[in-house]
Amino acid sequence: MSDKKIIDFYREELGIKTNEKEIYLKAVTHKSYNHSSNNERLEFLGDAVLDLIVSKQLFVKNKDANEGFLSIEKSKYVSRENLNKVAERILNKNVIKHKSNYLSENMLGNTLESIIGAIYIDKGMLACEKFILKHILQFKTERVLSKNLFKIINKFFYDKKTKVNRRP
């Protein structure tokens, strides 16, 4: 994919108007593509920013929760599994520059973290917070609600122990 199409992807699909285009191009460059100039440092930064923003949101929204609860909840949002699923949903796999035989789920999640790092450098903390709220916190909440709703529906309709009033 050309650099122009990658920048278009940021604007059209992720809603990011890039100021520093080079940092966003680096964010999607895997080390297999360019060993000396890749997204690993941005991934490191994005991981730290993600931790901070998720921690802040949980702290604010759960005023009476203890540290243990907050840590467990944070781990659900920042887990590799969750980030891989978010990245699979919002990233175009063709946007990632790599020379690997295949694009692993972890490469997607790592790229998502590097994009967060790029947003932080280019736009600052508030833009990162908006991006994370929209794409990561909301997505995880929707997944949890869907799972819980599925469990309730499944239990109500298919649990043999559940008795349903039927007309004779």
Catalytic annotation, residues: 47, 113
In DSSP terms, which residues pair with 29 in a beta bridge? 97
Q: Measuring CA to CA, which residue among 26, 39, 157, 9 is closest to residue 107? A: 39
The CA distances from residue 49 to 30, 76, 87, 108, 129, in Å, are 20, 16, 17, 18, 9
**Cα dihedral 13→16→18→23 (10° resolution):** -80
Tokens describing residue 140: 């995880």
Measured over the CA atoms of residue 116, residue 122, residue 128 and residue 131, the dihedral's sign is negative
